[in-house]
Structure 1
Amino acid sequence: MTRAESTFQSVFGYAPAITGRAPGRVNLLGEHTDYQGGFVLPAAIPQQATVSIGKNGGHAHRLHSANLHQTLTVEVGEVGTGFAPYLTGSVALCGVHEALDIWVWSDVPSGGLSSSAALELATLRAIRELYRLPLDDVQLALIGQKVEHEYVGVMCGVMDQMASSLADTEHMLFLDTRSLERRRLPLPSGTQNKAAQILVLDSGVPRRLAGSGYNERRAQVEEASRLLGVTQLRDVHDVSQLSVLPELLRRRARHVVSENARVLEALTADAARFGELMNASHASLQGDYQVSHPQVDVLVALLQARPQVYGARMTGAGFGGAVVALVQEGQAAQVAAEVLAQYGTGGRMVVP
């Protein structure tokens, strides 16, 4: 999908007042740690959500998805269904109480690449510009997270919204999700001191976070924190401290604690070691956290078996969706073609 078949003007009959855009993201390391105050390493992807807005002077929002070819009408102050909560939640939390026409289109694939955060941030950027709101990029990210919590029903951490708001496609964004301190870092160096390259493949397995085990996993690690007497698992630095937990909670907590350690080690790792950390992360997500999917595991294994691949893992919350690999510079397209030919129908290359 390269362009929308409709425009704001073709749907609503007038030109929009403002248009906002925001990218999806891929997470290289640091999965299911952000809601425990942990460390993450995302990067933006080229695909973006685009949101155009105008004031309609009525009593209801008119919301059009060019992807779904669908228009929803939602009274001001109501939430709505389908894709509406991402938009109405963003409008409400910005303190806007007048009826808007909103046109949305996105080429961010759903499933593991933060299509929802991109939609929220594109909407919030447009609203900030339209109403000249004194909100910085971090504040927009925090509002986007609140939209997920209060309007969508997913108790996500802040990584996705921070990445969509602050990351670029040329660097990793190292983010401390507790303090929100961050810095951009180059991709790890590969052979002959050349930069490595990111490859993202869509497994073709759809998922829905609100209906998956995402909120259940969050509740489990919160219970583990409570039993350990810490505010968050971020405060646990040795997996031996987890021995007092029941087996299931011990496995869930072990993933979070070990994943934080992997991110911190990755900050100074070369591509070969970074890839090993990615492989270990996938094994932890598959075994201890149990958020992978059999087809995703097949795709990851095919990538890990290629000599041009330093490492590969699922990316995003899991239960389907995308995988990410770190590959030798200039080899991503060839690796993707070979792996997808083995994988069969359903998979496709997203980045590069």
Structure 2
Amino acid sequence: MMATLLSPTEFFRGPPEVHVWAPGRVNLLGEHTDYNDGYMLPVATPQRTDVMAARSDDGMFHLYSATLDQAVDFAQEDSAPHGFGRYMEGCIRLLQQRGVAVPPLRMYVRSNLALGTGLSSSAALEVATLRAIRALLKTELDGVTLAQIAQQAEIRYAGVNCGIMDQMASSLADEEHMLFLDARTLDHEVLPLPPGAELIVINSGVPRQLAESKYNERRAECEAASQQLGVQALRDVRDVADVERLPAPLKQRARHVVSENLRVLEARGGVDAARFGELMNLSHYSLRDDYEVSIGALDELTEALRTDPDVFGARLTGAGFGGACVALCRAGTASQAGMRVVERMRRVGGAAASATLLIPAPPQ
């Protein structure tokens, strides 16, 4: 139901007991590899989701999103309706299933993460919810376990059969470094951004609805390709040539995943900004042509970025079908490059793009 826009003080009738936050993420390389047990290189965004919490005094859960101006109320034995409350309820229920006595709570959410842009607003909500409960109840919960619970909340309660990259990045990453992730082992490593470079994220203006996209279809295609190749997951294929015997479209889907993993591993080994940009370009072409998750607006934006003299490379970020793209730029030039490209797109009547954020964020 709709609610009158509330401040935290009004919602809690005083100060909350805890106030935590979690960032979104931008993925630089390794798209659609996490649910294939593969590798990825995300960074955290300066934009974030805040969750405040306190114990409820009436035996009910009360969830309120100031971003959406929506309130959700449900009893301990009931379920939240579909929407932001389902993500939060999933976190609560999974903790309860692990033996954590989560009492009825009041939880207030606000976020400056743009929804539907592929910056992982859902993972930030899940991670921030779990952090709030951890802080409130003083529960032992390390960052990796927290990410695993957050992922299961999205799969089992929101109906999105996601990999674990978004939740791991929101739980463990920062905006100063890349986070190398191995989806099979959950090993992770903090790495520097390429020297002399910074990032700009551009919103295409086309919203993305992940649960309604072909994300689950792509996952099923990858599972079918793995079965035909006789491997546990596409991560176990190390030579792109090995997928050529598959029928279409499984061949194309597998070719993207295998080549994308190789790009991540090359970048992890240490490359300069120019080569990293080339790897980002190759990633986008593969997502466009083999994985077929790009759209015209993202193709136009990334191509416009590649022609800018201060851009090393650009690609869509997130699952695709809309959302944002990310570009690696010369240090100190990303903001100007982003503005030039956005203005160029507007002049030619292209995507309704807008420069979303710089990473790392400029000093205050």
Range into which the TM-score falls when normalised by the shorter chain = over 0.9
Residues of 2 paired with 1:6 and 1:48: CA distance? 19
Matched-pair contact (CA < 8 Å) for 2:73–2:80: no
What does residue 63 of structure 1 align with?
Answer: 63
Shift of 1:97: 4.5
Q: SS at the partner of 1:52? A: strand
Q: Deviations over 1:218-271 (max 9, x none)?
A: 010011001111000000011211122111000000000000001111122111
Larger mean Cα displacement after TM superposition, 264-273 or 28-37: 264-273
Counterpart check, 1:108 vs 2:113: yes
Matched-pair contact (CA < 8 Å) for 1:28–1:41: yes
What does residue 81 of structure 1 align with?
Answer: 82
Gaps of 5+ in 1: 190-194
Counterparts in 2 of 1:122-137, with a 5 A limit? 122-137=128-143
Aligned partner (choices 159, 171, 183) of residue 189 of structure 2: 183
Moved over 3 A (4+): none
Residues of 1 paired with 2:318 and 2:75: CA distance? 33
| TM-score normalized by the length of structure 1 | 0.95
Q: Deviations over 1:29-58 (max 9, x none)?
A: 000000011110000110110001111133
| TM-score normalized by the length of structure 2 | 0.92
Residues of 2 paired with 1:120 and 1:9: CA distance? 23
Shift of 1:130: 0.8
Matched-pair contact (CA < 8 Å) for 1:29–1:41: yes
What does residue 31 of structure 1 align with?
Answer: 31
Residues of 2 paired with 1:25 and 1:212: CA distance? 20
Q: Deviations over 1:41-85 (max 9, x none)?
A: 000110110001111133321111101111121222413221111
Larger mean Cα displacement after TM superposition, 77-86 or 17-26: 77-86
Residues of 2 paired with 1:90 and 1:19: CA distance? 17
Letter in 1 for 2:335: A
Matched-pair contact (CA < 8 Å) for 2:82–2:158: no
Letter in 2 for 1:103: Y
What does residue 361 of structure 2 align with?
Answer: none
Matched-pair contact (CA < 8 Å) for 1:175–1:182: yes
Q: SS at the partner of 1:113? A: coil
What does residue 231 of structure 1 align with?
Answer: 232
What does residue 278 of structure 1 align with?
Answer: 280
Counterparts in 2 of 1:140-289, with a 5 A limit? 140-189=146-195, 195-267=196-268, 268-289=270-291
Letter in 2 for 1:163: A
Q: Deviations over 1:174-193 (max 9, x none)?
A: 1111111111111112xxxx
Residues of 1 paired with 2:161 and 2:169: CA distance? 17
- The RMSD of aligned alpha carbons is 1.2
Counterparts in 2 of 1:9-48, with a 5 A limit? 9-48=9-48
Residues of 1 paired with 2:6 and 2:306: CA distance? 41
Residues of 1 paired with 2:198 and 2:317: CA distance? 16
Matched-pair contact (CA < 8 Å) for 1:207–1:321: yes
Letter in 1 for 2:314: A
Residues of 2 paired with 1:293 and 1:75: CA distance? 42
Q: Deviations over 1:124-149 (max 9, x none)?
A: 00101111111101110000000011
What does residue 98 of structure 1 align with?
Answer: 103
Matched-pair contact (CA < 8 Å) for 1:292–1:320: yes
Residues of 2 paired with 1:335 and 1:255: CA distance? 29
Q: Deviations over 1:277-320 (max 9, x none)?
A: 10000000001001111111111111011111000000011110
Letter in 2 for 1:316: G
What percent of counterpart residues are identical? 51
Shift of 1:342: 1.3
Q: SS at the partner of 1:153? A: coil
What does residue 192 of structure 1 align with?
Answer: none
Matched-pair contact (CA < 8 Å) for 2:95–2:102: no
Q: How many residues align?
A: 343
Matched-pair contact (CA < 8 Å) for 1:141–1:161: yes
Letter in 1 for 2:249: L
Shift of 1:335: 0.5
Q: SS at the partner of 1:327? A: strand
